[in-house]
Structure 1
């Protein structure tokens, strides 16, 4: 059962996302979706002893696997699915926050690394208006420490203006002061489509 007060005021579309079945995504799938060739190439990006925020954590698998592979990290997760009592009982981990981007109950400059893989930015691109995606990107950069990095993806390269050149995400990142960003395009494992991911670095 979901406590209705937890998401009071959220849109009907957001409520629908909460009701969807969370996916079980571990480090290997995160590496694939962000365009890294293997697990080690992804987790080597995380500075020793840093604080990591996973937005849209599914069944909390990434956090559990990082606890084994990188016990020096402190990993937090944003997970609206934990509003479901039955899901919470089966999947709750330490440092799990029941919330939805772009309204994160997190202080500014709290994290060295933010990951949004198949999370808020991915879902926001299904909306015609850019304002939701823009709000999500602002929130991601807000919670990053100066010098911190965010990894966002995948977005799909579709034959429309939303994905030409910099894509929607790139165009919106250009409007955020104090960040540098880059993008990579790649073929997902076993797929013929093109995927794109973004890396953001917040200025010192």
Structure 2
């Protein structure tokens, strides 16, 4: 029997409810950057039977279909699942939550989670579930955001801090016993604890180009924990943080007015 959802899980579902459309417009393109490397790590190719868990807007699913894979997808947020159905009509898409997925043992050649481990209350159990549904010798491949974050990742957080905004009481952090270092060593150890074999982990770094208003919009619309902190003091708090943000953007603004934001993620994979 799967463990009951944690307070962190409940908060994540509240945060992401109804956010499919603003996510697609703001942060989906950012999260798409590691997709090709993630599919390579999972050895996704023609005929592969693949699960894209935490499918979001369908970026990973679409890329896997383009490689000739047979794609299944799941997301805890119904709006995200529907967005993937529209983007990838051939995919079998379901609403489902980690660490309890509606698939039999050994169903897939590869299970992929692009930034999904950042959003589950029990990351090790989530990986154990991905291993369960992957055939022996198949691959589980995941990405997470590195911590400490690259300068582009911390831009809005710095503005929030300058405005004196703090995490609301209802928004819990991951329980200490479920947390892990967001480093190559920490993520590799987590995969090992889930009994994945031959684990490898590397860092992926890139520069994300985006206009300042679009980058701000995602947080202002309440996407992610950062967006909840930004909105924690209402319109006044948002306005104060926006003033700080406009000043900080000068560090990243190019001659054409766009921001060039350095980001860094971790990519890890192991065999079931």
For normalisation by structure 2, the TM-score amounts to: 0.54
Match of 2:268 in 1: 198
- Determine the structure 2 residue equivalent to 1:4: none
2: CA distance between counterparts of 1:186 and 1:88? 25
Partner of 1:96: 93
Query: Residues of 2 paired with 1:89 and 1:151: CA distance?
Result: 22
Alignment of 1:1-204 (within 5 A): 10=5, 12-22=10-20, 23-24=23-24, 25=28, 29-30=31-32, 32-33=33-34, 36=37, 42=40, 45-67=43-65, 69-70=66-67, 72-82=68-78, 93=89, 94-119=91-116, 121-124=117-120, 132-158=122-148, 162-164=181-183, 166-167=185-186, 169-177=187-195, 179-190=197-208, 191-202=261-272
Question: Quick one: structure 1 residues 139 and 17, their matched pair in 2 at CA, closer, same or farther if it must change by over 3 Å?
Answer: farther
Given the superposition, is the C-alpha separation of residues 146 and 76 from structure 1 closer, same or farther in structure 2, using an over 3 Å criterion? same
Maintained 8 Å contact 2:113/2:142: yes
Q: Which has the higher contact order (CA 8 A, sep 6+)?
A: 2
Structure 2 spans left out of the alignment, 5+ residues: 150-179, 209-260
The residue number in structure 1 matching 2:167 is: none
Higher helix share: 2
Q: Distance in 2 between matches of 1:84 and 1:34?
A: 17
Aligned pair count?
178
Q: CA deviation at 1:14?
A: 4.2
More divergent stretch after superposition (107-116 vs 86-95): 86-95
Deviations 1:83-124 (A, max 9, x none): 6898699668441111011010111111111110021x1223
Q: Distance in 2 between matches of 1:187 and 1:146?
A: 31
List structure 1 segments (4+ residues) > 3 angstroms apart after TM superposition.
23-26, 41-44, 64-67, 83-94, 190-194
| Residue number in structure 2 paired with 1:5 | none
Cα separation, partners in 2 of 1:175 and 1:81, compared to 1, 3 Å: closer
In 2: Cα distance, 1:113 partner to 1:183 partner: 17
Aligned to 2:55, the other structure's residue is in SS state coil
TM-score computed with the length of structure 1 as normaliser: 0.70
Partner residue of 2:173?
none
Q: Secondary structure at the match of 2:78?
A: helix
Larger Rg: 2
Unmatched 5+ stretches in structure 1? 1-8
The structural deviation recorded for 1:48 is: 2.6
